[in-house]
Amino acid sequence: MKKTLSLLVLLLLLSNSAAAFAAPKINTFERPARGSAYTLSEWATDGWNAPWDLGMSTRTWIDGYNFNHSGGQSLRVFYPAGQIDPANSGAQAPFALTPGREYYLSYWVRFSSDFSWGTTQFAGKLGLGLAGGAACSGGQTCTGYNGFSSRMIWRSGGQAAIYYYHMGNNGQYGDYAVLKNSNGTDIYYPKGTWVNIVQRLKVNTVTNGEANPDGEIQIWYNGTSAALITGLRFVRNADLVDKAYFSSFFGGATSEFAPANDSYVWYDDLKASTNRADICELNAGGCFTRTFQAENYTAMSGVMTEPTPDAGGGLNIGGIDSQDWIAFGNVSVPKTGTYLVEYRVASPNAGGKLSLDIDEGDTVLGQIDIPNTGSWSSYRTVSHTVQITAGTYQFGLYAATGGFDINWWKITQLY
């Protein structure tokens, strides 16, 4: 009997542990066709579900032509000149998360080079935030029973801040805290450059229906802590973090907050997890990544090198027929996890297939279709995600179906 009870307790603990650290939700925006609207149904196909949205079908697109942080695509959001609020500017949707007391949310963001911070008043919501329950916001009084919310914002000149609704707001609207550099100066979002934002929100505990002041919000900017707010009270009930709240638009309540010109923001590599270890952007040195020039193989069969017309010059691998391969030995992968693998390819034909394996084909990690990129001189980045166990390997790129060139390939840790 004791042994049975002990086993049941152990299984319960393991079950709770697995639930607490379930695999994170990620979105690299690599699956949809480039140039297509990223509608709510497309989000759902990628595992992100929301009951409603504003602007997703009309003001968000998959960009495979201009900018991306990794892979070959990103999400581009449009903010029309003269428009405010999410009905007319940017996009909004409350994406469901498995409820948790503490969550981490990470994404990369890039403002257009001519991004307008406003007209004569300057404020707007950026990207995604964390929320729970009824997601108290929009000038509501947070009672502890109608949820909570936290979102990134920009202020005059692109000043970066976290904007949050909790019990005890100082005014009608939420409170905010300006992000700070390590030297104490204010952080301002740059234009035309990718930056990483990580948000952590921990919901307060509740004792006999009273909210204990032990809730927290923390923000990291490019891997460095930029804001820490403690002593917060979000709830009096059992609400937890259960939403990644995409809420990005101009405003303010008047047209003075509207952009002076059409503006865009790109988003990439979105992650949400209850486990800090899944957010490799917070690791010393960031997420592990390594790029391999295709011509620097350690072994090959059937291919040739030639000057590349791709950006950056140098050489590419060409003459790739079916069953040709290149291999790269002594490659160390530091952590078991999910990796994004990118290939820079060119082909005037459709139908190419490339397989990635380790240790001379003993383990096939994945296969990817090579599209028609337009010509031999028109290169495009394609990618897929694979699972890799920590270790040192020989990686092989095998042409299951040939007819394409490769300039480089790259592996990057997602989590």
Question: With 70 as the cut, is the pLDDT of residue 84 above it?
Answer: yes
> Which are the contacts of 72, defined by CB distance < 8 A and separation ≥ 6?
30, 34, 64, 342, 380, 381, 382, 383
Q: What percent of the chain has pLDDT over 90?
A: 92
Do the first three CATH levels of 23-282 and 289-413 match, i.e. the same topology?
A: yes
Kindly report the CATH number that applies to the domain delimited by 289-413.
2.60.120.260
Question: With 70 as the cut, is the pLDDT of residue 410 above it?
Answer: yes
Q: What are the structure tokens assigned to 21, written together?
A: 């650290």
Q: Which of 160, 132, 159 is nearest to 146 (CA)?
A: 132
Q: pLDDT of 270-286, one tens digit each?
A: 999 999 999 999 999 99
Q: How confident is the model at residue 15 (pLDDT cuts 50, 70, 90)?
A: very low
Q: Give me the pLDDT at residue 3, please.
A: 38
Residue 159: CB atoms within 10 Å: 18
CATH topology for 23-282 is: Jelly Rolls (2.60.120)
Question: With 50 as the cut, is the pLDDT of residue 11 above it?
Answer: no
Question: With 60 as the cut, is the pLDDT of residue 8 above it?
Answer: no
In the chain, domain spans: 23-282, 289-413
Q: pLDDT of 147-193, one tens digit each?
A: 999 999 999 999 999 999 999 888 889 999 999 999 999 999 999 99
The one-character DSSP state at 239 is -
Question: With 70 as the cut, is the pLDDT of residue 296 above it?
Answer: yes
pTM attached to this predicted model: 0.92
